[in-house]
Amino acid sequence: MLSLQSYKGTRDIYPEDMRLRNYIFGKWRKVIESFGYEEYDAPLLEPIEIYAAKSGTEIVNDQTYTFTDRGDRTVAIRPEMTPSVSRMVAARRQEMPMPARLYSISNFMRYERPQKGREREFWQLNFDLFGVDGIAADAEIITIADKILREFGANESMFTIRINDRRLTNYIMREYLGLDENQTNLMIKLFDRREKMPEKDFLEQAAEIVQNESKNDTTNVTTLLIKVRQITEMRDLDELVQNVTTNVTKNETICDLKNLFEILKNRGIKSAKFDPTLMRGFDYYTGTVFEVFDESPENRRGMFGGGRYDGLIGLFGVEPLPVVGVAPGETTMIEFLKAHNLLPELKPSTKIVVIPMGEVDAGSVADELRVRNINVSVDFSDRKTDKKIKGAVKSGVQYALFVGEDEIANKKFSLKNVATGEQQILTIDKIAQIL
């Protein structure tokens, strides 16, 4: 006997779930298209090399669905969109008008341990702005991220957009803390996990990283740990500038960050906060990185993030191109709406069910409503009328229409509001008006 279960980590999306998905996708589309983004789609499978190049080793080694096809090609089900859209833009590097604004809403797969807000198959909106290296591009992407959450009714008490810059991180790790490349990578990964561990553990592990190199003596380690701790506590760009950077006026990264916050302030974005501890997993980021954080006490977590990845398109052998992008996901969005009580009540698109009484041409009556743009189903089953009405109630359809020989002859039909029980005898035109 075949199993009734869906494959582990995936969900069967029944109509009530699909209504929520379509509600979310609809809001996404509305906001992103209002900023001039045009929709695209990419293949479900890509050669594995495209991910190996830049996605980060954890994703490629542990999380991709990789296999060999019948033609002996090693392929992966896409675990993310960025490498695919980079390939597509690279393939039209010469002819595509710049700046290019592209978005997609697609499914992805990662072999992860399924948990709340994380599934093996998941849907994401991806939007990217190509061809602008100025900070105005970063500001636009962050503005849209903010607008998307507001479109669902969220306000700035519900979420924060944490912002950092990879160039600043590199400066802090290499120049300010004096770490080598290996220590830098380890420290970035440690910062990434920081909120999931007690501060004591974090500092112990930080000490391990800096001690690993023999050149560091005990005094040095203590000094470094004080600095590390200091960075984790900073949420003010000016404070960081005073303490960390030696030559502020010449530091392009600091200028960009200041400009970015200035633009966001002028656009009325109150959710943006500087956070020098924000790292983001992917290896391909080269400038601004940011993460939208759910601030509800019971659901505090990073929801989605993005940033600037100017180097990726050049890997396809074409002239490099500046890009900023971000990818909100469906499941985290649902968790956010739930946590903040923003889930709407969603009705079926079917407005009325026609119930034939005897051997009549009920389909033609239904057609008369359809030409008036009303979504109608016909209950052709041979159950009793009260069972048919119960079925309508259960499926959430609000009206039932009874169609017998007399009704067809008189061109008047009995319309029942199945929720209230109210019943009226009306012409098709009147019925169409009520619906």
User: Least distance from C-beta 188 to a second copy, angstroms?
Assistant: 25
CB of 386 to a second copy, least distance (A): 13
Query: Any contact of residue 237 with a second copy (CB under 8 A)?
Result: no
Half-sphere exposure of 282 (CA within 13 A, CB side): 29
Token reading at 333: 């969005």
Of residues 38 and 406, the one with the C-beta less far from a second copy: 38
Of the pair 260, 339, the CB lying nearest a second copy is at 260
* Strands 272-274 and 159-165, sheet pairing: parallel
Find where tokens 């991220």 sit: 145
Cβ atoms of residues 47 and 347 within 8 Å: no
**Contacts of a second copy in 344-363 (CB under 8 A):** 348-350, 353, 361, 363
Residues 362-381 that bind a second copy (CB under 8 A): 363-364, 366-367, 370, 373-381
- Give the residue with the Cβ less far from a second copy, 174 or 267: 267
Joined together, the tokens standing for residue 28 give 């996404």
Under rule CB under 8 A, which residues in 397-426 are in contact with a second copy?
397
Q: Which of residues 79-108 bind a second copy (CB under 8 A)?
A: 87-88, 90-92, 97-99, 101-102, 107
Order of strands across the sheet with 74-77?
A: 45-47, 74-77, 65-68
CA atoms in the 13 A half-sphere facing the CB of 428: 20
Would you say 59 and 29 are in contact if contact means Cβ atoms under 8 Å apart? Answer: no
Rounded CA separation 151/149 (Å): 5
Our CB check for a second copy shows the closer of 217 and 367 to be: 367
Spell out the residues 6+ positions from residue 178 whose beta carbon is closer than 8 angstroms to its own: 224
Structure tokens at 107: 């499914």
CA distance 333 to 152: 10
Q: Is 24 in the site for a second copy (CB under 8 A)?
A: no
Kindly determine how many residues on this chain lie close enough to bind a second copy according to the rule CB under 8 A: 102
Q: x-or-dash pattern for a second copy, window 178-217, by CB under 8 A?
A: ----------------------------------------
CB nearer a second copy, residue 98 or residue 434: 98
Q: Which of residues 251-280 bind a second copy (CB under 8 A)?
A: 263, 266-267
Mark the segment that binds a second copy (CB under 8 A) among 64-72, 153-161, 246-254, 291-299. Answer: 64-72
Say if CB 354 and CB 366 are below 8 A apart: yes
Q: Which of residues 43-62 bind a second copy (CB under 8 A)?
A: 43-47, 49-50, 53
Applying CB under 8 A, does 36 fall inside the site for a second copy? yes
User: Exposure pattern of 52-91 as b/e (b: 16+ CB <10 Å)?
Assistant: bebbbeebbeebbbbeeeeeeeebbbbbbbbbbbbbbbbe
Whole-number Å distance between alpha carbons of 319 and 367: 57
Interface pick for a second copy out of 24, 59, 60, 75 (rule CB under 8 A): 75
- The answer to whether residue 3 forms part of the interface with a second copy (CB under 8 A) is yes
Q: Using the minimum distance from each CB to a second copy, give the nearer residue, 13 or 241.
A: 13
**Cβ nearer to a second copy, comparing 74 with 423:** 74
Window 284-323: residues binding a second copy (CB under 8 A): 315-318
Sheet holding 376-378, edge to edge: 376-378, 352-356, 399-403, 413-417, 423-426
To a second copy, the closest distance from the beta carbon of 186 in angstroms equals 26
Rounded distance, CA 426 to CA 413, Å? 5
Restricting to residues 111-140, which ones interact with a second copy according to CB under 8 A?
A: 111, 121, 131-132, 134, 136-137, 139-140
CB of 376 to a second copy, least distance (A): 6
By CB under 8 A, name the one of 81, 337, 339, 392 that touches a second copy.
Answer: 392
> Of these, 72, 181, 298, 382, which contacts a second copy (CB under 8 A)?
382
Question: Residue 92 corresponds to which tokens in the numbers above?
Answer: 């039209």
Single residue of 205, 253, 299, 395 touching a second copy by CB under 8 A: 395
Nearest to 49 by CA among 73, 69, 71, 72: 73
Give the amino acid at 167: R
For the CB of residue 216, give the shortest distance to a second copy in the complex, in Å: 39
Q: x/- string (CB under 8 A) for a second copy, residues 150-179? A: ------------------------------
How far, in Å, CA of 127 to CA of 104, rounded?
7
Quick check: bond before 344 cis, omega within 30? no
Between residues 326 and 353, which has the closer beta carbon with respect to a second copy? 353
Q: Quick one: 21 or 301, whose CB is closer to a second copy?
A: 21
Which range in 38-46, 163-171, 221-229, 295-303 contacts a second copy by CB under 8 A? 38-46
The pair of structure tokens assigned to 314 is: 């050049």
